[in-house]
Amino acid sequence: MMRTRPLKVALLGCGVVGSEVARIMTTHADDLAARIGAPVELAGVAVRRPDKVREGIPAELITTDATALVKRGDIDVVVEVIGGVEPARTLITTAFEHGASVVSANKALLAQDGTSLYASADRHGQDLYYEAAVAGAIPLIRPLRESLAGDKINRVMGIVNGTTNFILDRMDTNGAGYSEALDEATALGYAEADPTADVEGFDAAAKAAILAGIAFHTRVRLDDVYREGMTEVTAADFASAKRMGCTIKLLAICERSADGESVTARVHPAMIPLSHPLASVREAYNAVFVEAEAAGRLMFYGPGAGGSPTASAVLGDLVAVCRNKLNEATGPGESAYTQLPVSPMGDVVTRYHISLDVADKPGVLAQVATVFAEHGVSIDTVRQQGKDGEASLVVVTHRAPDAALSGTVEALRKLDTVRGVASIMRVEGE
């Protein structure tokens, strides 16, 4: 039997995502009520610019006082889509204190301070759901938190930023340079006017922190994630990748160590084999590859950003939280019982693709090979070509600790016969 008294929802933010949330709540009101077991009512919308026309939202619901809205006491669920750390953090904790559960899309806040938010939600008996914070419409957080709760996850690797994937895809398929591909992404609305958060990996790093924390039942903060952007990736790198049967993607990688005693989280460009499922992810799409002991290999794929896809994830969380409200229950909270340490990047075992500009004369390859051997790094393949006294030397290594590979590169730079290091890139996905 359906309850007639509606559950009241406060919306913080009414931009691209927030306006879609409001629209879907209105146009699909009957369906949402049937799925939840009670009507849902948009009770207030907090915005910064009250004079802006917002189609479909009654003017009397608009307010600039977000704090007063979440303090009302009759609000059941607060949907936060304003982003950033403050005032979002204060508004969310205030909502918990006044009896409201929270649905958020705020990856930056969750990556930086998720632990205190979980603690506040638990203290006040409220829910904190955030499916939309990672990979847009792709159902990912709930499968990790619930569907795979009985399994042991060893690795999560994925493309979690649509802007960077679009740029790298254009560089790969059209032969475009980085600047040209970025300009196209901006013109199509995939890249912001200031694309730094995307292309330098900050956005992906926040998502990696969230994924690692859930997957490994441990606390991983944004500062724990190694981050490397993709602005230095060149057409020459793609040419080298193609010769290896690879392409290049900006990857978020979270993995458990071989002994199971620590975890790592990192974001960086990497060459991956064309045979790997992530290699075929095109345009601005996202995909995440999960490796679990019992379930095996799983892949989640779909649009990772945009108003409608992100709103879909928000509404899914809203339905779940409202159902919990009706049943006077809460969903899963923070699971950090393992308390595993987060190892530095130097401990990560990986492969390298290193391109060197060298003198074209006898003995150079022997000198380079000696440096690799002295640092305990085994060489997989070497390719050398050159003329007129100059040459290029491309070395692909076997797996070794990242610190050993970094030390190798520094030693190579000191050789008289090495004119420069043209590019360095990790090789993943094997």
> DSSP assignment of 259-318, as one string?
TSS-EEEEEEEEEEETTSGGGG--TTEEEEEEEETTTEEEEEEEE--SHHHHHHHHHHHH
The pLDDT value recorded for residue 1 is: 65
SS3 40: strand
The pLDDT value recorded for residue 388 is: 63
The pLDDT value recorded for residue 30 is: 95
71 as an active site residue: the answer is no
Residues 356, 335: Cα–Cα separation, whole Å: 46
Per-residue pLDDT of the chain (430 residues; tens, 9 = 90+): 677 799 999 999 999 899 999 999 999 999 999 999 999 999 999 999 988 888 889 999 999 999 999 999 999 999 999 999 999 999 999 999 999 999 999 999 999 999 999 999 999 999 999 999 998 889 999 999 999 999 999 999 999 999 999 999 999 999 989 999 999 999 988 888 899 999 999 999 999 999 999 999 999 999 999 999 999 999 989 999 999 999 999 999 999 999 999 999 999 999 999 999 999 999 999 999 999 999 999 999 998 878 888 999 999 999 999 999 999 999 999 999 999 999 999 999 999 999 999 988 888 999 999 999 999 999 999 988 766 667 889 999 999 999 999 999 999 999 999 999 988 999 998 7
Distance of CA 168 to the CA centre of its chain: 16
Q: Pick the catalytic residue from 107, 207, 249, 325.
A: 207
pTM of the model: 0.94
Residues 73, 260: Cα–Cα separation, whole Å: 45
The pLDDT value recorded for residue 33 is: 96
